[in-house]
Amino acid sequence: MNKKRSFIHFGRNQNILFIVLMFLGVFLVMQFRAVTEKTNEDGTSAREMASKLDVERSEGKKLLQTLTAMEGIYAEKLRNIGEKQGDQAFSDLLEERDRVFFRSGLTDVKGEGVILTMNDAVNPGEMAIEEYIIHDSDVTTILNELRLAGAQAISINGERVLGLTKTVCAGPTILINRSRYAVPYEFKAVGDAQKLFQALDNSEAVGILRLYNIRVEMKMATEITINRFQTYDIQELMTGLEVVAK
Amino acid sequence: MKTGKLLALTLICFVIGVVVTWQYGSVKSNQQIASFEKKRVSELVEDILLERSNNEKLQSRVDELQKELAAFDSEESGSKDALDKLKASVLQARMIAGLETVKGNGLTVELDALGDRIIEDRHMLELINELRASDVQAMSVNDERILATSEIRKAGRYLMVNGRQLVTPYIVKAIGDPGKMENSLRLLGGIVEKFELYEFQVTITPSDNIIIPAVRDDGTVLRTDLMTPIMP
């Protein structure tokens, strides 16, 4: 009782103190509620979107599998038609089709080569944070180094890189062809493994990346498989193009 | 009693001070988190739209293929049809491989160094990449077709593309949407502005008759000797 009284009796400042404290209390509660509500709301919608994205992605994977299987059947059927007819022109054309698909990047390929993995710096130093993350220009430079060293087929995170493949920075991710990828980036290149490895290891581009603590790992491999270029709509690659007869 | 009161008051004020500071800090970080979340949500939405349009394309491709397979099965649509399809497919692949000379709507970018600074490989890479980002359909530098294996190399004062030495002015030809390509090059703070600072002369000419030659088919550019195809 005595103690309680001592807390209540502050003398002349009592009223002012009471108002100040009450104001503070209300302010704190309001603030706290506002903050928790806000994070909850955004948290759920981000989660919702992420699960929607997962659904779309797995749908895409299934469609790709279906498509690949159907293309196999299609090729088989064509071969059968060719054989049934015993038509040499038809068989030649089939052979040419396989060869041109191979040369244009529309077929999976394998061979020796290198695998390079790139990831953002773990411990950024004192410079701006932009210096320690991977940009599209880094990707472009690595691609050019690989091409300089005679790479015959290249993919990034399983996405086949053709001559006109776009690699565009989009926030912390990079758009490659038609899909977006986040770090780490895995470059696979088929070619002379020794030559590719040495060219990369000695390149200015990799040296600079390492200087900024960007994690670059490289290894040679005797057999690398590189996916074909995934055509979603082949016409999209040649809208507005007209073949000029030689 | 008086010291007790003072002590209690000090304690309360201290606690409030700590709470307010802590709360302020957490509000600030929460705001940061909220802005990250907002960015993340908009990125996710973009990704979903991208995946969705990819999936629609895949679905229509599956449907199309199904129809073609059904047509093979029905006897009356004879081998003539299959032969035509095969021919078309070979031609499409040849276009993707760069084995056909193509023409279309697009633009040329002429690039020359006026000042002391020379045009380096990274400048050319940047220009080419900018055009790739605006959905170019075919591209060449001084008539060297840009393909999956095309490198840009600095050799002395000049550039090499596809193992060929080029001389200035460099003429980049691109088939695609000329408006879209020119806009992306002329962005504020974009590549043209930058090149002009370097005293490079940049001349962009849209044309509806850009002709881009086929690749030299002698095995120097389209190299496949170190790999084998995996057939479906």
Beta carbons within 10 angstroms of residue B50's beta carbon? 17
Number of cross-chain residue pairs from A and B with Cβ atoms under 8 Å apart = 273
| Closest alpha carbon to B201 in B157, B168, B161 | B168
Concatenated DSSP letters for A98-160? HHHHHHHT-SEEEEEEEEEEEE--SS--SS-GGGGS--HHHHHHHHHHHHHTT-SEEEETTEE
* Closest CB from A68, A141, A152 relative to B227: A152
pLDDT for the residue numbered A38: 55
Q: Which residue is it, tokens 């509620």?
A: A33
| Closest alpha carbon to B149 in B228, B231, B220 | B220
Q: Is the separation of the CB atoms in A89 and A180 below 8 Å?
A: no
Q: B84 vs A195, which has greater pLDDT?
A: A195
Which regions of chain A are under pLDDT 50? 1-6
Residue B78 clears pLDDT 70, i.e. is over it = no
Asked if B45 has any chain A CB less than 8 Å from its own CB, the reply is yes
* Gap between the Cα atoms of A197 and A63, Å rounded: 36
Task: Look at A243 and B101 and tell me if their CB atoms are within 8 Å.
Answer: yes
The terminus-to-terminus CA distance of chain A in angstroms comes to: 107
DSSP A235: G
pLDDT for the residue numbered A1: 42
Beta carbons within 10 angstroms of residue B39's beta carbon? 13
Helix (H, G, I), strand (E, B) or coil at B158: strand
Task: Look at B87 and A93 and tell me if their CB atoms are within 8 Å.
Answer: yes
Q: Mean pLDDT across the stretch B148-167?
A: 93
Q: B173 vs A13, which has greater pLDDT?
A: B173
* Gap between the Cα atoms of B119 and B153, Å rounded: 11
pLDDT for the residue numbered A150: 93
Residue B107 clears pLDDT 80, i.e. is over it = yes
Could you give the percent of chain B with pLDDT greater than 70? 96
pLDDT for the residue numbered A3: 45
For residue B169, is the peptide bond before it cis, meaning its omega torsion is within 30 degrees of 0? Answer: yes
* Gap between the Cα atoms of A168 and A92, Å rounded: 40
Chain A environment of B5 (Cβ under 8 Å): 6-7, 9-10
Q: Which residues contact B187 (CB under 8 A, 6 or more apart)?
A: B193
Beta carbons within 10 angstroms of residue A175's beta carbon? 19
| Closest alpha carbon to B103 in B216, B215, B212, B214 | B212
pLDDT for the residue numbered A213: 84
Task: Look at B50 and A178 and tell me if their CB atoms are within 8 Å.
Answer: yes
* Gap between the Cα atoms of A200 and A116, Å rounded: 9
Min Cα separation A182/chain B (Å):
12
Asked if B207 has any chain A CB less than 8 Å from its own CB, the reply is no
State the pTM of this model: 0.79
Q: Is the separation of the CB atoms in B182 and B190 below 8 Å?
A: no
Task: Look at B103 and A241 and tell me if their CB atoms are within 8 Å.
Answer: yes
Q: Which two tokens stand for residue A43?
A: 């948290």
Q: Is the separation of the CB atoms in B162 and B144 below 8 Å?
A: yes
DSSP B189: T
The H or E element containing residue B139 is strand B138-141
Concatenated DSSP letters for B146-188? --TT--EEEETTEEEETTEE--SSEEEEEES-HHHHHHHHSST
| Closest alpha carbon to B230 in A196, A188, A98 | A98
Residue B84 clears pLDDT 90, i.e. is over it = no
pLDDT for the residue numbered B100: 94
Q: Which residues contact B63 (CB under 8 A, 6 or more apart)?
A: none
* Closest CB from B133, B151, B152 relative to A168: B133
* Closest CB from A45, A144, A167 relative to B151: A144
Write down the H helix ranges in chain A. Answer: 2-8, 14-85, 88-104, 136-148, 193-201, 204-211
Mean pLDDT lowest among A143-152, A163-172, B29-38, B44-53: B29-38
Q: Mean pLDDT across the stretch B7-16?
A: 86
Residue B71 clears pLDDT 60, i.e. is over it = yes
Task: Look at A67 and B62 and tell me if their CB atoms are within 8 Å.
Answer: yes
Q: B167 vs A3, which has greater pLDDT?
A: B167
DSSP A174: E
What is the interface pTM, i.e. ipTM, of the complex?
0.80
Q: Which two tokens stand for residue B182?
A: 């020119």
Confidence of residue B69 (pLDDT cuts 50, 70, 90): confident
| Closest alpha carbon to A70 in B130, B149, B65, B84 | B65
Q: Mean pLDDT across the stretch B146-168?
A: 93
Residue of B51, B107, B209 best to disrupt the A interface, most CBs of A under 10 A: B51
Residue of A12, A29, A103, A159 best to disrupt the B interface, most CBs of B under 10 A: A103
* Closest CB from A85, A164, A241 relative to B104: A241
Q: Mean pLDDT across the stretch B186-212?
A: 93
Residue A240 backbone phi and psi in degrees, to 5: 80, 5
Q: Is the separation of the CB atoms in A240 and B207 below 8 Å?
A: no
pLDDT for the residue numbered A2: 46
Write down how long chain A is.
246
Q: Which two tokens stand for residue A37?
A: 């509500």
Q: What is the mean pLDDT of chain B?
A: 88
DSSP A1: -
Q: Which residue is it, tokens 């095309």?
A: B150
